[in-house]
Amino acid sequence: MHVGLFLKATGHHFAAWHHPGVQLDAATNVEHFVECAQLAEQAGFDFIFFADSLAVREGSMEDICRFSQFTAYLEPLTLLSAIAMKTQRIGLVSTATTSYNEPFHVARKFASLDHISHGRAGWNVVTSGNKAEALNFGRKAHFEHAVRYQRAAEFVEVVKALWDSWEAGALTFDRQSGNFFDPSKVHVVNHVGEFFNVRGPLNVARPPQGRPVIFQAGTSEAGRQLAAATGEGIFSSELTAASSAEYYKDLKDRAARLGRQPGETLVLPGLTPVVGRTAAEAHEKNAYLQSLIAPDVGRDFLAELLGMDLSDVSVDDRLPDRPKKAGSQGVIAAVTKLAESENLSIKQLYRRLGGSYGKLELVGSASQIADQMESWFHGHSCDGFILQPPVLPVDLHDIVNLLIPELQNRGLIRIGYEGSTLRDHLGLGQP
């Protein structure tokens, strides 16, 4: 199976910054992230992954200041360029939105990262779930859901064309002829579409991987279709093996209908493992983290996750039946289904999801968590996982020292690297 690592400042648990083992200034501390990346590389992770947003979350500053994840953090492509100079093999994946960028910007930046890292770059395609981003880019409102995905599909098409505008070997450095590059191997794009008009060519030579690996997190109908058409690594958010198996089959079937092979689309659910030397130790760790959640912050976290107003609802009540605003439709659907199926109160729900931000969470010994991961993998529910440590760097050390060796001992993941590029690690061909 493939295993990536999702790094988020002090960790994925939204109360992690209260934990005494965190690096409090982690969000703007490059050394912190370099150390995490180096530890992940020593363990043989396929890649590290960064999310991104182009706005501080909505709300009053008095409310926002109680959250660490939604405020001040480094721009991830800049950060990954620094990490690239301190690592050799691990893949480097970053989010970049198609809603508030231009294709030329994204194509150039990820081509540059691919060159800087010698072929380890990956682009996570998103359409932006944070509607506040619109207000930072001259728009009064976020794009409608359907428009976001129509724009994204064309955006990816243009980015690929720009990467392809330079053929392999175009740079000849031929002093004798006087030609720095072979003009027959560099092409204008001349894209004219509904959303973008781009001439090209790109002013960066062809990336070492041909194209950086494209990640996507499609869960809505439009999102699934975009993922099936363009995604190579699919960051999914299913909470049960059964629902993930349905998603897995649906996505592979959609990709096949578009002429793609099963191995060209890798389904990688997000997973927060709370791992201990024993099950009791893991549950004790988890209980301590839950004790750090202030009720009003937990309620606000859930409101942010679901895109709905919960300010007038007690944490002991069930989720009200209210309209949900812009956000990840897949996460909203999975969380709503979980709350209804288990009849969870708001407090029970935010405690269940507080360490995973709406993704799967497993608490137990390394053997117990590996059992579940193996079951998902062999049951065709996934091709691997993107691990989300609840507290950094504390839980990353436990994952590397306890869980990764257990997976290696079972032959589920490799020991060390067999190739040098992200495409090598993921078994993806080079375009």
Q: Is the pLDDT reported for residue 267 higher than 80?
A: yes
- Which tokens sit at 191? 């894209």
116-160: pLDDT as tens digits: 999 999 999 999 878 889 999 999 999 998 999 999 999 999 999
- For 320-329, write each residue's pLDDT tens digit: 886 666 556 6
Mean pLDDT throughout 163-170?
A: 97
Sign of the CA dihedral running 306, 312, 315, 316:
negative
The highest-confidence range among 20-24, 182-186, 287-291, by mean pLDDT, is 182-186
- The 10 Å Cβ neighbour count of residue 145 is 15
| Residue 327 pLDDT | 57
Alpha helices (H) in 133-220, listed in sequence order: 145-163
134 three-class SS: helix
With beta carbons less than 8 A apart as the criterion, state whether 327 and 133 touch: no
Which candidate, 157, 296, 123, 146, places its Cα nearest to that of 222?
Answer: 146
Max avg pLDDT among 129-133, 273-277, 299-303, 312-316 = 273-277
Distances 364 to 153, 356, 361, 376, 399 between C-alpha atoms, Å: 40, 15, 10, 16, 12
Give the pLDDT of residue 324. Answer: 63
Q: Residue with structure tokens 């894209």? A: 191
CB atoms within 10 A of CB 66: 17
Cβ-based neighbour number of residue 56 at 10 Å = 16
Would you call 233 helix, strand, or coil by DSSP? strand
Residue 63 or 83, more confident:
83
Contact (Cβ atoms closer than 8 angstroms) between residue 161 and residue 200: yes
Would you state the pLDDT for residue 413? Answer: 97
Q: What is the pLDDT of residue 26?
A: 93
User: What average pLDDT does this structure show over 60-83?
Assistant: 82
pLDDT higher than threshold 70 for residue 241: yes
Bond into 76 cis (ω within 30): no
Q: Quick one: tokens of 157? A: 């098409």
Q: Tell me if 107 sits within 8 A of 135, measured CB to CB.
A: no
DSSP H or E segment with residue 304: helix 295-306
What residues have CB less than 8 Å from 270, skipping those under 6 apart? 6, 235, 236, 237, 356, 357, 359, 360, 385, 386, 388
pLDDT 10s digits, 13-64: 988 999 999 988 999 999 999 999 999 999 999 999 999 999 887 767 777 7
Task: Please report, rounded to a whole number, the percentage of residues in the chain having pLDDT higher than 90.
Answer: 73
Task: Name the residue with higher pLDDT: 68 or 339.
Answer: 339
pLDDT for the residue numbered 300 = 82
In which element (H, E) is residue 93 found?
A: strand 91-97
% the chain with pLDDT above 70: 97
pLDDT at 310: 86
- The three-point CA angle 415-420-422 to 5° equals 90
Residues in Cβ contact with 252 at an 8 Å cutoff, skipping those fewer than 6 apart: 262, 265, 267
Q: CA 2, 385, 149 angle in degrees (round to 5)?
A: 105
Residue 20 DSSP one-character state: T
Q: In the prediction, which pLDDT does 163 show?
A: 98
Q: Return the pLDDT at 216.
A: 96
pLDDT of residue 68: 59
Query: Can you tell me the mean pLDDT for 172-185?
Result: 95
Per-residue model confidence as pLDDT tens digits over 415-431? 999 999 999 999 999 99
Distance CA 173, CA 19 (A): 54
What separation in angstroms does the CA of 360 have from each of 237, 349, 376? 7, 13, 12
| AA identity, residue 169 | G
pLDDT of residue 62: 74
Average pLDDT on 64-89 reads: 87
126 phi and psi, to 5 degrees?
A: -130, 160
DSSP annotation of 278 reads S
Q: Say if residues 136 and 123 touch (Cβ distance below 8 Å).
A: no
Indicate the pairing of strand 360-365 with strand 384-387: unpaired
CA distances from 402 to 48, 217, 367, 405 (A): 19, 28, 9, 6
Whether the CB-CB separation of 297 and 67 falls below 8 Å is answered with yes
Enter the tokens of residue 243: 């629902």
Residue 224 reports pLDDT greater than 80: yes
Inter-residue contact 148 to 127 (CB < 8 Å): yes
What is the rounded average pLDDT for all residues in the chain? 92
CA distance 291 to 50: 27
Q: Which of 56-70, 293-307, 330-344, 391-405 holds the top average pLDDT?
A: 391-405
* Distance, C-alpha 227 to centroid of its chain: 13
- Please report the pLDDT score of residue 323 as a whole number: 64
> What span, in angstroms and rounded, lies between the C-alpha atoms of 1 and 329?
27
Tokens of 421: 């590029």
Q: With bands split at pLDDT 50, 70 and 90, how would you rate the model's confidence at 69? A: low
